[in-house]
Structure 1
């Protein structure tokens, strides 16, 4: 599939992002024009300019179990890295600085499997980091060791829990992605704060042993403490 030609006014985010156009296919990249502390807001994902995609492509971002969006902006040129500078929070529909923050002049990247269950166009990662995972084809095809230190979106954690349950021949009921009641407390999006990954394993029908294994190997997205501003700093809103 050929690279998408921009149909939006460029630059779309001139205050925070510089796009470096290269002649070779899929080598265009983005450079940060701002310095932000960990988890500070970098950009919002609004509809419009975002639109729902009919099917996943190399240029879409997954924002639910079976939902994908077109960014329709220069945010499309944020490439993959196994040690990313940004985090796409598809529940809040925001792009934030990653756990190490973002520096002016740093390449803007995010960890594709944090949003993508499978990749329409898998590729071999060339990030060069010590933690490089190699072949990137989506969270579905990655081991818990490869996903262990990554901050993952809600829908990816839910799909992983169901995958692990299926592999162990555990029957799992359908997940209510809206609201359910568990143990007298109301939880939204099929989640519970009672375990390390934020997944309500009891609701998924996952055993305590499996829940412990998954909780010990997978990172959830940024915690409320991290997002509360305890890590300090201003945010960039665009």
Structure 2
């Protein structure tokens, strides 16, 4: 699958993010994002501001789920942040912020987030190649993951609520930990990922290709 044609001026976040296109010799259209900055745990990496973000008319592989039936287009190079089961970033769609995970960020770290933290049911799942010890394997959204698979990672409010409904509980059993800031969760999710490249353009595996 050929890369998306950006509708925005690139680079959109030159002070904090470097986008590498064709970063794998075997994947012409692979992409990944690298941090240009050092930031402590829980720091704000970027704002999900409107604009440049816009509400999406329908979910696609290039959108992010921000609520039960709401999705957004990033309209920026934040689109090129890949999935990892031990992410370096948190996409908080309630606060409309991208925040740093509990290990902090250093220049050169890959920028990643956990797709099921925003996405309930991805139309196009994929086999994760992050290489982490906690790798969940097949990623298709939070709907198809067990409570155990979702423990130890930060989840957005709409995902926690939908898990509770699915499991027939008043509150998701992991809500106590999920209510903590990323500093308190240190050791339960990671940012030092070692992974094969998974590009949104190459496979349609983007965290916003959802069914609602």
TM over 0.5: yes
Flag the structure with more relative contact order, 1 or 2, with Cα contacts below 8 A and sequence separation at least 6.
2
Deviations 1:61-118 (A, max 9, x none): 0000110001000000000000000000111100010121111100000000000001
Whole-angstrom distance in 2 between the partners of 1:34 and 1:22: 22
Closer/same/farther in 2, CA of residues 47 and 217 from structure 1, 3 Å limit: closer
TM-score (norm 2): 0.80
Highest Rg: 1 or 2?
Answer: 1
Whole-angstrom distance in 2 between the partners of 1:79 and 1:120: 17
Closer/same/farther in 2, CA of residues 3 and 121 from structure 1, 3 Å limit: farther
TM-score (norm 1): 0.71
The count of corresponding residues between Structure 1 and Structure 2 is 181
SS in 1 for 2:46: strand
Whole-angstrom distance in 2 between the partners of 1:83 and 1:225: 15
What's the offset of the Cα at 1:144?
A: 0.7
Whole-angstrom distance in 1 between the partners of 2:85 and 2:29: 17
1:1-238 → structure 2 map (5 Å cutoff): 2-22=2-22, 24=27, 27-165=30-168, 206=170, 211=171, 214-216=172-174, 219-220=177-178, 222-223=180-181
CA contact (8 A) 1:56 1:120 kept: no
Report the counterpart of residue 197 of structure 2 in structure 1. none
Whole-angstrom distance in 2 between the partners of 1:68 and 1:15: 27
Report the counterpart of residue 187 of structure 2 in structure 1. none
What's the offset of the Cα at 1:216?
A: 4.5
What's the offset of the Cα at 1:3?
A: 3.4
What's the offset of the Cα at 1:225?
A: 7.9
Closer/same/farther in 2, CA of residues 135 and 98 from structure 1, 3 Å limit: same
Instruction: Structure 2 unaligned segments of length 5 or more: list them.
Output: 185-212
Instruction: Structure 1 unaligned segments of length 5 or more: list them.
Output: 166-200, 227-238
What's the offset of the Cα at 1:120?
A: 2.6
CA contact (8 A) 1:147 1:217 kept: no
